Amino acid sequence: MSILGQPIDRIDGRQKVTGTARYAAEFFVPGVVHAVLVESTIGAGQIIGFELAGAQKMPGVLAIITPQNAIRLPMQKGSPQTVHAPLLQDMTVVYNGQHVAVVVADTLDRATAAAAKVRVQYQAGEPVTRMEAVLDQAYVPKHFRNGTRPPDSRRGDPDTAFFTGAVRLEATYVTPIENHNPMEPHATIARWDGPAGQERLTVWHTTQGISATQTSLAALFGIDPSRVRVICPFVGGGFGCKGATWPPAVLAAMAAKMVGRPVKLVITRAQMFTSNGYRPQTVQKLRFAAGSDGRLVSMRHDGFTQMSMPVLGEYSEPVGLPTEMLYDCDNVAVTHRLVATNASLPTYMRAPGEAPGDFALESAMDELAAALGIDPVEFRLRNYAESDPHEGKPFASKALRACYAMGAEAFGWSRRTPAPRSMRDGAYLVGLGMATSTYPTNRSPADARVRVTDRGATLVAVGSQDIGTGTYTVMAQTAASVLGVPVGWVRVQLGDSTLPKAPVSGGSQTVASVGPAVLAAAQSVRTKLFDMARADRWPGAPDAALRLQNGVVIGPDGRLPIAELMARRNLDSVEATEHAAAAPADSQYSKHAFGAQFAEVRVDPELGEVRVVRYVGAFDCGHVLNAKTGRSQLIGGIVYGIGMALMEATHVDEETGRVVNSNISEYLMPVNADVPAIAAIIVPSDDTRSNPLGAKGIGELPMVGVAAAVANAVWHATGVRVRRLPIRVEDLIAV
C-alpha cells in the first residue's frame, strides 16, 4: 500500500515538541542588535517634529530612524513589493498605530526604554473610524483579485425577477474586523554583507512566502533578487498575516543597513494589530427571492469592504464569489465596493472572502428555507448546481451531494424538528443548523529537486515553507511513494530562498502546487534509475515491469541495488529538478472544493450564553495526502470558524481610531473549553483534473460555512436571527 495518504506522524514533530525547531527570531547571528518600533498616537494628520534628545542620550542607543533620516526607498507604482507604506518615507499619518520611528540599541531592553522616550509632535486631523459613517462614499476596486477579473458580475435580470418570487428576503449581514493572532509574532533578523555596490542581504524572517519576500526586499532596496536570501524553516502560524512583506521586515533591513550591524526586530502582541493586516469589516446587502417550489429566482449580493486610505495600497474582500457559483439560479448580480477609513491595510485572513461572504449567503439561504417551510438541506439540494453557473463550465469534481448525505447521517439531522425553540435539553434551548462550504482549488507554478544517494537516502529540496500544516511530512510521503523507500529515509529541505522556487503558502495551494513538482522530480529520478537498470540487465523492459523498493530496483527476474548501478557509473547520487506549471487560465473546468457543516448549540434562555456542543463537517477535498494532518487541518478550520461565529472582533475607539483590545486576553478566541466534539468526515473524491495528485486544499475550506451553521443553529434554538458577528449575549439575553 502506498505511503501517500497514510496517517503517519509529522516528521518534524520531534523538533517541535523538544524545542529544537528554530523559528526566525531564534537564530544566533553574531553581533546582532535590536530594533523597536514607535507608533503614532493619532489616527490622522501630520508629524511636525520629533523630540529625540532624551532617547539619544540613553545607554546603548545606536540610531533613531524617522522619516527625516530614513533611507529613501523606490515607491513607484507597479513595483513588486506587496506593501507600499508606511515605511518612514513621509510625515503623513493615516492611522493610529502607524510606525513613525525605529529605535536601535545594543539590547532589547535598552531599545524598548529608548523608544518609550521618543516624543512625536503632531498636527492632528479628524480620522474616519466607522465604515458605516462613510458607506455612501464606497468606490469600485481597481485591482480586484489582483486584476484577474472585474469586481462585479451579472447574469439574467435579478432586479426584475426578485418581484416574481413567492418569498423575498432583503437583509444586511455584518462581519467585524478580525485579527490573525498566531502564536509566533512577526520577527525579522536582517544582515547586510559585502562591499558597497555588491551588498547582499540575508533575512531570517517569519513568512508564508519566501520567494515573495525575496522579490519584495530586492525591489525596495534596488538590488538583484539573487543578492537577497530569505531563511524561514518553521512558521509558528500565519493564517494570512505572514503572506505579504510587511513594513517591520523592511524597517529591520533598513535599520541593519544604517547601523552596519545585524538587526533583530520582533513586534509585540499589541503591534500585531497594526503592523500586518487583518480581516476587514464587511457590510453585505443581500436581496434574494425564491418560488413556492423552493427554487431560487433571484440573487443579488452587494458587498462593502472596509479599506485603509488608498495611499497604503488596496485590498478587497471578495465576499460575493460563493454567491456567483454555489447555487443554480438564472438571475444573479454580485458587486464589490471599498470604503476607505483611517486604518492600516487589510489583508488575507483564513478563507478570505469566502468566510464572511458565506456567512451572509448561507444565513440568507436558511432564512428562505424557513420562510418556505422547507428543510434547509432539502432547500439546498433543490438549488444544487451540477455545473458552475457563473463560468458556464463543468466542475473538475464535485461530491457535495455526498457531503450533505454523509454529514446529515453522522450528525443525526433527521431528529431536528423544524420550528424554532422546539428542542430542549432541560432548561436549555437546543438548536441544529447547517451550511454549505466551498473554496477554490488553486495551483501556482513551483520547482522541486529530488536527490537519491547510492544507499537510497532521499533529499527533497523546495523553496516552500511549512506554516504548521505538515508540508515537510506530505512532501516526504510524496517522494517516498514514488521511490519505494520508507518516509524515514527522506529528508526534506524547506524554508530557504536558495532552494527551487515555490509560491506563497496561501489560498490552500501548497500541496496542489509544490506536490506535483516533488512528484515530477521523484518520477524523473526513478526513470533515471530504471534506465540504468535497463542498460545493465533488462533492456527494453517497460516501467510496469520494474519497481523500486528500499534502494533496490526489482525487475522481471531479480534485483539490482541502486548502489551497484551508481558505482558502475562512478556516481554517488542521482538527482532531478522539475517544474510544475500553474493551472491554465483557460481551463475547461471550474475547480472548487466543497463541504457541508452541521452545528448543534445549547443556549441559556436567561443569560443568552451560547455553547456549540457538537459539530460535524463533511468535506469533498480530493485526495488527502496524510489522513492525520488532513484531519487536523479540518478540525482546526472548524475551531477557527467557531471563533468567528461567537468570539472574534477587533474593537476600535471611534474618537481616536486606536485598537482597544490589542491583546489575547480581550481579543477573544476559542480555547479548549469552547471546542466541542468535532467529527471531520473526508468524503471519497479525487480531482486529477486540477493537479496530478488529485488533491484539493483544506487549509481554508473547513472554516467556510461554520459561522453560518452556528448562526442558523442559534436561530433554530431561539427564534432570533442574528445577522451581525460575533453573536453576543446581548443579542440573545432573555430570549
Which of these, 478, 707, 450, lies nearest to 8 by C-alpha position?
478
Which of these, 601, 552, 579, lies nearest to 713 by C-alpha position?
601
Do the Cβ atoms of 376 and 369 come closer than 8 Å? yes
For 204, other C-beta atoms within 10 Å of its C-beta total 27
Which residue type does 297 have?
A: V
> How many CA atoms are closer than 13 Å to the CA of 135, on its beta-carbon side?
11
Q: What angle do CA 727, 730, 732 make, to 5 degrees?
A: 70
Would you give the DSSP letter of residue 10?
P
Instruction: Report the C-alpha gap between 187 and 475 in whole angstroms.
Output: 26
Alpha helices in 278-353 (DSSP H): 321-325
Alpha helices in 373-470 (DSSP H): 376-382, 400-411
In the set 184, 317, 354, 700, the catalytic residue is 700
Burial class of 211 by CB neighbour count within 10 A (0 to 12, 13 to 18, 19+):
buried
506, three cell numbers? 496561501
Do the Cβ atoms of 529 and 538 come closer than 8 Å? no
SS3 state at 445? coil
Helices H, strands E: what count in the chain? 16, 29
Do the Cβ atoms of 672 and 326 come closer than 8 Å? no
Instruction: Report the C-alpha gap between 79 and 66 in whole angstroms.
Output: 23
158, three cell numbers? 435579478
629, three cell numbers? 494532518
Do the Cβ atoms of 187 and 266 come closer than 8 Å? yes
CA quadruple 218, 219, 220, 225: dihedral, nearest 10: 0
CA quadruple 347, 351, 354, 359: dihedral, nearest 10: -100
Q: What angle do CA 51, 54, 56 make, to 5 degrees?
A: 95
Radius of gyration over alpha carbons of the chain, in Å?
27
Q: Give the relative orientation of helices 471-483 and 510-536 as an angle to the nearest 10 degrees.
A: 20
Give 570's contacts (C-beta < 8 A, 6+ positions apart): none
Q: Is 184 annotated as catalytic? A: no
For 17, other C-beta atoms within 10 Å of its C-beta total 10
SS3 state at 288? strand
Instruction: Report the C-alpha gap between 552 and 562 in whole angstroms.
Output: 5
Instruction: Report the C-alpha gap between 657 and 558 in whole angstroms.
Output: 75
Q: Give CA separation, 615 vs 115, 351, 618, in Å.
A: 47, 19, 10
Q: Give CA separation, 345 vs 222, 247, 310, 341, in Å.
A: 24, 11, 9, 10
Do the Cβ atoms of 527 and 547 come closer than 8 Å? no
Known catalytic residues are 700
